[in-house]
Structures are given as C-alpha cells and as structure tokens.
Amino acid sequence: MIKANKLTMHYGPVVALRDVSFEVNRGEIVGLLGPNGAGKSTAMKILTTYLHPTSGTAQVGGIDVLDNPLGVRRIIGYLPEILPLYMDMEVRTYLDFVGRARGLSGGKLKQRVEVVLDECGLRPMYRKIIRELSKGYKQRTGLAQALIHDPDIIVLDEPTSGLDPHQIVEIRQLIRKLAATKTVILSTHILQEVEAMADRIVIINRGRTVGDGTIEELRARARDFDRTAISLQGDRAEIERMLSGMDGVRKVHYEGEVDGCCSFTVYSRIGSEIWRELNKLAHSKNWAVRELAVKPLTLEETFLTLTEPAKKRDEKEGAAA
C-alpha cells in the first residue's frame, strides 16, 4: 500500500532524509520510530504530498506521490502533528465542513459524520466548541477528520503527543480498532507507543533507515549475546566463579541481592541456550533457584544499539569535513 524508495530531502545545507526506503503492506500498522529531528515528520509530509523530495519517490495505494499528488490525497487520511482544527467551530460543524471538502454530500456525508462520531468517541462532545475540548478530545477530533471519507490508508504523525496516560490508552485502542480494516502508518519518538501498537517498526535516525522489521527481528539483529537472568541462594563469590567458568558464557553481571537471593545476568554465546546448563549447575550445587529466565533486549536497548552505528558514522563524516 505504501512504498518509499530512496527518499532524500535537503533543507538548504541540512539533510533531513538520506535514501530512506521502506514498505507498508495492506492491513499493517507500521511505526516510524526515531528521536526528535530524525526525519520522521519529513517522511510523512512527503508521503502525504505536503513536501516534494529532493530525490527519490514514493507510491501510496499504487499512486506516485510526484506524478499524481491529488490522487494520493483522495485515498489517505492524515493526522499531522499540529492538529488541523478550526477552534471556533463545533465538532459536528467542523466534521461536516471537512466531509464536504472531501467531496461528500447528502446522505453519505450524514452517514460518515455519524460513523466517525461513534468510532472516535466524540458523540458526547459533538455540540461542543473545539477550543473548549480537552487535549484528548481534540486529538479524537483530529482523527475523526482523517477518517471522515473512509480512507483505506491512514497516516498519523505523533498521534498520542501531549496526552495523559488514560488518553494514550484510549487512542491506542482506537488505532488498533481502525487497523482491522485499514492500513496505518504512524510516527512517534515514544518507544512504548510502537511496542504497544505496531506490527512492524521502521527506525529512522539522522535521516537514515537503520532498522526495519518486527520487534523480534530487530532484537535479533541488535543483540550481541543471549542474556539469562538467574536468582538463587548461595555464596555469591562461589556462584559468580562457577557461572563465569561455564562453556559459552562471555560475561556475568551481579545485579544485587533480594530476600537472601543473589541475582545475576549471564551473557552467553547466541544460540547456546545456557539456561539448561544453569539449571543443571544449580541443582548439582543444591542452590535454591528463585528465578531463571531468558532476558530479551528491551525495545530501548534495541533502538540504542541500532542507532549507534549511524551516530558514529555521522561523527566520522563531520570530522572528515
């Protein structure tokens, strides 16, 4: 449904995107993840035809964003980071206005207004002036305008920005519901958001694509070791010595003591399944095991690992210049 091909964008001497390529398949929720200033919003604006790239191109729903920008706009719903709201309008009047701008009229317009009021939980607020709404309801109104014409593709730029935890959960649930029938691409710099909503993640850092895949695929690419957490009763020095001497173990890190149990993280060769040998060792030494679990990389650790090479490369380029 969406295909970006070597998108590059220059703002004068500043390079916002450098040969960024990715795809979003029908029915997927794909998260564009990256720190502030990474190039996520620039990529969004190119996909929604707000910006013309310096080079590269993209197709949305099979339509080229450069050859037929109006055709792209007809088939997408777009929620930009800065909400496109007219603050002095009532919610219902605003949605009616947006629907008419999208070419809806008569019974079809009335039907779509009713649908988005219910889908976005806006019915209690439909007679309210937008300026009087809470941040969460303004965000819902922004989503409603993106959905008014029932697009197959939804583009969301920082959809939970500035919301409190309750509002974030509500917007997450709404996006997951929409994904049952639509293709969704969303950008955020909040790791927890993509972990909670996205089927697949594209990581952009300093204008480059540094990761593309499911969370598990990105974790597998980023990890250097398998990590296993073990907590058990026994003499710390003896336990640490025995764990460090095991075949395949690269490093043992003492995490502390809780309720008389010593906790360690064991770093081992990838694929070694060291937990089996840890369990055998503990039983042979009569160490009471409180915890034994494989520790996958967190999304934060994965993100930091994948973005570090790009950071170092930029520093080298800067030094060379």
| pLDDT tier for residue 37 given thresholds of 50, 70 and 90 | confident
pLDDT at 319 (0 to 100)? 43
- List, as one string, the DSSP characters of 75-130: HEEEE-SS----TTSBHHHHHHHHHHHTT--HHHHHHHHHHHHHHTT-GGGTTSBG
Is the pLDDT reported for residue 8 higher than 90?
yes
| pLDDT tier for residue 317 given thresholds of 50, 70 and 90 | very low
pLDDT at 312 (0 to 100)? 53
Residue 45 DSSP one-character state: H
**CA angle at 51 for the pair 49 and 57, rounded to the nearest 5°:** 70
Rounded Cα–Cα distance for residues 276 and 262 (Å):
19
Is the pLDDT reported for residue 106 higher than 90?
yes
Sign of the alpha-carbon torsion through 12, 16, 19, 21 = negative
pLDDT digits (tens, 9 = 90+) for 122-173: 999 999 999 999 988 999 999 999 999 999 999 998 888 777 888 788 888 8
CATH superfamily ID and name for 2-220? P-loop containing nucleotide triphosphate hydrolases (3.40.50.300)
Residue 288 DSSP one-character state: P
Q: What fold, for 224-294?
A: Alpha-Beta Plaits (3.30.70)
pLDDT at 320 (0 to 100)? 35
Contact 266, 249 (CB under 8 A): yes
From residue 248, give the alpha-carbon distance in Å to each of 20, 225, 267, 269. 38, 10, 9, 5
Rounded Cα–Cα distance for residues 182 and 151 (Å):
8
Half-sphere exposure of 206 (CA within 13 A, CB side): 13
| pLDDT tier for residue 191 given thresholds of 50, 70 and 90 | confident
Rounded Cα–Cα distance for residues 70 and 76 (Å):
10
Average pLDDT of the chain is 89
Ranges for all domains in the chain classified under CATH 3.40.50.300? 2-220
pLDDT digits (tens, 9 = 90+) for 258-284: 888 999 999 998 888 899 999 999 999
pLDDT digits (tens, 9 = 90+) for 59-90: 999 999 999 999 999 999 999 988 999 999 99
Ranges for all domains in the chain classified under CATH 3.30.70.1340? 224-294
Contact 214, 195 (CB under 8 A): no
